[in-house]
């Protein structure tokens, strides 16, 4: 079973990973966006880390709702509200259980990803974070390692796609041939789940 501590470790691992990969995320965003995805994610997850250190969270749902709220309020740019919605919706779907199973987490994450699609209007294949998140949720039944591999594959598979949502879509065909920054950061978020479980 996964308790609040597991979810705090997940957020801490995600923050550390975003710190390590910020330059790469910004480089990807400089090719098809406005070169701020790394700094956006860093600002957001720094706030998540600080909030989780300051405020007590005693359930998995409370951890994710607090984290989501930080992302929404601190990150200007598309990714903040989208990731914020992902974590908040997932947290709400977990309710106030003190511990949740992996199946329950998969179901809640599915609700979170549905929330991102409803907010941003992106579908699979539009070259967004959705292209990493949907395969990850689909693979979660086979465990965290399978979800990580699916998210990484999904992120890499955005390269030949033409962007249909977000800033990269303004480039039209010129968005082809570059990996999507948001799909790349989503793969980091999913990989951090496996780190939290170790
Ligand atoms: P901005 O584009 O406002 O500068 P970021 O650079 O932080 O924001 O985030 C860009 C990422 O957000 C993209 O790579 C993409 O994955 C994701 N994104 C943008 N718009 C959408 C959308 N409508 N639905 C899902 N994801 C989106
Ligand atoms: Mg950007
Ligand atoms: Mg921006």
- Cα of 42 to ligand 3 centre, how many Å? 13
Closest ligand 1 atom, CA of 76? 3
Global confidence as pTM: 0.98
Per-10-residue mean pLDDT of the chain, 198 residues long, equals 97 98 98 98 98 97 98 94 98 98 97 98 98 98 97 98 98 98 98 95
Query: What is the predicted pLDDT for the residue at 129?
Result: 98
Closest ligand 1 atom, CA of 34? 4
Q: Is the CB of 131 under 6 A from ligand 1?
A: no
Q: Reduce the secondary structure of the chain to three states and give it as a string.
A: CEEHHHHHHHHHHHHHHHHHHHHHHHHHHHHHCCCCHHHHHHHHHHHHHHHHHHCCCCCHHHHHHHHHHHHHHHCCCCHHHHHHHHHHHHHHHHCCCCEECHHHHHHHHHHHHHHHHHHHCCCCCCCCCHHHHHHHHHHHHHCHHHHHHHHHHHHHCCCCCCCCCCHHHHHHHHHCCCCCHHHHHHHHHHHHHHHHHC
Please name the residue whose Cα sits nearest to atom 19 of ligand 1.
166
ipTM above 0.90, yes or no: yes
């Amino acid at each position: 079973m996964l308790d609040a501590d597991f979810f705090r470790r997940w957020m801490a691992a995600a923050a550390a990973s975003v710190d390590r990969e910020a330059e790469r995320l910004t480089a990807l965003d400089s090719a098809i966006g406005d070169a701020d995805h790394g700094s956006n994610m860093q600002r957001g997850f720094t706030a998540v880390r600080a909030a989780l250190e300051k405020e007590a969270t005693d359930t998995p749902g409370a951890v994710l709702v607090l984290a989501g709220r930080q992302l929404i309020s601190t990150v200007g740019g598309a990714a903040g509200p989208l990731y914020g919605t992902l974590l908040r919706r997932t947290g709400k779907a977990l309710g106030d259980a003190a511990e949740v199973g992996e199946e329950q987490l998969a179901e809640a994450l599915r609700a979170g990803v549905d929330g991102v699609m409803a907010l941003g209007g992106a579908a699979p294949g539009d070259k967004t974070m959705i292209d990493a998140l949907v395969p990850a949720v689909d693979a979660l039944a086979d465990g965290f390692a399978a979800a990580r591999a699916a998210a990484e594959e999904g992120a890499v598979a955005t390269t030949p796609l033409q962007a249909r949502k977000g800033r990269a879509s303004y480039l039209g065909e010129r968005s082809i041939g570059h990996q999507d920054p948001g799909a790349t950061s989503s793969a980091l978020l999913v990989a951090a789940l496996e780190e939290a479980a170790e």
